[in-house]
Structure 1
Amino acid sequence: MQEIVRRSYTFWYYIPSLPAATIFMLIFMGLTGLHSWKLFTTKTWFCIAFTLGGLFEIIGYIGRAIAHSNTTTMGPYILTNVFVLLAPTLFAASIYMTLGRLIRRVGAEHLSVIRVSRLTKTFVWGDVLSFVVQGNSSSLSVLGYDQWAKVAVISGLAIQLVSFTIFWISALMFERRIRREPTPESLLPGIPWKKSLYMLYAVSALIMIRSIFRIIEYVLGNSGYPLQHEWTLYIFDSVPMAIVMIIYFTWYPSDIKAKTDLEGSMPLAYVYSEV
């Protein structure tokens, strides 16, 4: 009975900081606005998922701001947990698609570790699986299955971590091969494939660090240090994801668009054309 009463109000083990939530809400609003502008001006439609990830971050921190004065209400708790948790999976979808288009753009399909026709599908479907598994955790929590919700989140994060590890290795091996056997297209000055690869390494590493932190957070549970101290979320999740958006925007992959991009195909249809 005591456990039931405890669960009725202990959504937070601290009062969420309103200034911190507001600052990051504004940061992600600004970054998402920049990404939206870049998306539509360059017509790089496969980056739609990335921009949606920024929108998820905004919603998550709005929920966190609301929770400052509503720590016993389930709505803001679910809002911030779900949207902040899932935003990186949307970032990941565009990141995975970037590598596939980069390989095609430099005409180096034969140098890819995984067949290019399967490359994007493999990683994006893994990302979808991670999204669905983590997303179901909220419904399990609402129904009272906290232990299963915890397992769902950890499983989803583990899938994301494994996917990024394999993705990282695939990108590294591709870079090694194309440096040994450069294609004519890779020598053209207008295709910044090296910068694009470095950008992918950076954003992937940041999301991997964030995933490791989140796995530790959920493994330790409510009595663990991360869930008892708010600063850990901002240092190991909020800040890295903001940096991911800054890096991706700075080296936006608009120069590696496929032919269908250049011809102006329909945005959503194109995003899922390879998946």
Structure 2
Amino acid sequence: MAKLEPYKGDYYLWAYIPSLAASVIFLILFFTCTVFHTWKAWKTGAKFCIPFCLGGLFEIIGYGGRTDCTNNTAQLGPYIIQSTFILLGPVLYAASVYMFLARLIRSVNAEKYSLIRIDWMAKTFVTSDIISFIVQGSGAGMMAMNGMASTAKGIVIGGLMIQLIMFGFFIVTSIVFEKRIRQAPTADQASWQKHLYPLYAVSVLIMVRSIFRVIEYATGQNGYLLSHEWPMYVFDAVLMWAAMLIWGYWHPGALRAEKSGVKLLSMRSY
């Protein structure tokens, strides 16, 4: 029978016993979506979607680790695995989202409407994403170390803030592009709206989830969000699964078929 046990002395890794059923359900949901996204990226040749697929893999590993935590609440290994991989998955989603906007703008020959020079757009955002990934990952790995919890919390919040600030700037960049192209449409518009609006939706979901994570860590280990399980599923798991559904239904790789002959961005060129 599952039991809440201390890691060392009177120090507990968990404030509750993680739900095995919830972990298994989201493990299956993310596994299914990741398999679909991997197949879709391969079929369409959309290399920029590779980080998105890796983000799904991180979610799978995270929730796989979480299933082991139900009966091992005193074990550090499973705790770190689930904490780190679930935290970092959305950072990889963001990398694909960043690259796709540059691809979309170039596909409709609207580089002049971009707030940032098109050759630098994805490089700028993806670089910030990599920094956020490293900062959050290092903080997450320190969370359970004795005497390091406060420092680790600050590091994770710092990484999340980098992501939030850059994602906010990214959304502004997207909105400016839409406003400009509406005011002066290009001759080669294709169906940019069909791709831009799902991009907005996924971006908002990632932002809401990141805001939740900042508040969660800021309120501390004894705060309501970290001491109860349901907020993590409602404001993280469900939102990121919804992001995968939206990105899958309106898959950005379809742009290749719609705009055959147009120079498209690859992972190498961003």
Q: TM-score if structure 2 supplies the norm length?
A: 0.92
Distance change in 2, residues 1:257/1:126 (3 Å): farther
Counterparts of 1:25 and 1:195 in 2: how far apart (Å)? 30
2:34 corresponds to which residue?
32
State the 1:146 CA deviation. 1.2
SS in 2 for 1:6: coil
State the 1:254 CA deviation. 1.4
State the 1:271 CA deviation. 1.4
On the 8 A contact 2:135/2:155 being kept in 1, the answer is yes
Q: For each residue in 1:245-266, what CA deviation from the matched residue of structure 2 results, as whole angstroms up to 9, or x when unmatched? A: 00000111113349xx989x9x
The residue type equivalent to 1:256 in the other structure is L
The residue type equivalent to 1:153 in the other structure is V
2:202 corresponds to which residue?
203
State the 1:138 CA deviation. 3.2
The residue type equivalent to 1:223 in the other structure is N
The count of residues paired between Structure 1 and Structure 2 equals 261
Q: TM-score if structure 1 supplies the norm length?
A: 0.90
Counterparts of 1:142 and 1:219 in 2: how far apart (Å)? 16
State the 1:4 CA deviation. 6.4
Runs of at least 4 residues off by over 4 Å: none
Among 85, 88, 102, the alignment partner of 1:86 is: 88
Mapping for residues 4-43 of structure 1, pairs under 5 Å: 5-7=9-11, 10-43=12-45
On the 8 A contact 2:140/2:156 being kept in 1, the answer is no
The residue type equivalent to 1:255 in the other structure is A
State the 1:185 CA deviation. 1.1
State the 1:140 CA deviation. 2.6
Distance change in 2, residues 1:262/1:134 (3 Å): farther
On the 8 A contact 2:216/2:226 being kept in 1, the answer is yes
Counterparts of 2:15 and 2:39 in 1: how far apart (Å)? 38
On the 8 A contact 1:22/1:61 being kept in 2, the answer is yes
Q: Which runs of 5+ in 1 are unaligned?
A: none
Q: For each residue in 1:206-241, what CA deviation from the matched residue of structure 2 results, as whole angstroms up to 9, or x when unmatched? A: 111000100010001111001111000000000000
2:72 corresponds to which residue?
70
RMSD of aligned C-alpha atoms? Answer: 2.1
On the 8 A contact 2:31/2:57 being kept in 1, the answer is yes
Matched, 1:103 2:102: no
Counterparts of 1:138 and 1:176 in 2: how far apart (Å)? 39
On the 8 A contact 1:192/1:255 being kept in 2, the answer is no
State the 1:143 CA deviation. 4.5
1:49 corresponds to which residue?
51
- Identity percentage of aligned residues: 48
The answer to which of 140-149 and 210-219 deviates more is 140-149
The answer to which of 136-145 and 195-204 deviates more is 136-145
The residue type equivalent to 1:180 in the other structure is Q
Structure number with higher helix proportion: 1
Counterparts of 1:68 and 1:231 in 2: how far apart (Å)? 15
2:143 corresponds to which residue?
141
Q: Which runs of 5+ in 2 are unaligned?
A: 1-6
Counterparts of 1:75 and 1:43 in 2: how far apart (Å)? 36
State the 1:14 CA deviation. 0.3
Counterparts of 2:58 and 2:32 in 1: how far apart (Å)? 13
The residue type equivalent to 1:140 in the other structure is M
On the 8 A contact 1:101/1:256 being kept in 2, the answer is no
2:175 corresponds to which residue?
172
Distance change in 2, residues 1:14/1:143 (3 Å): closer
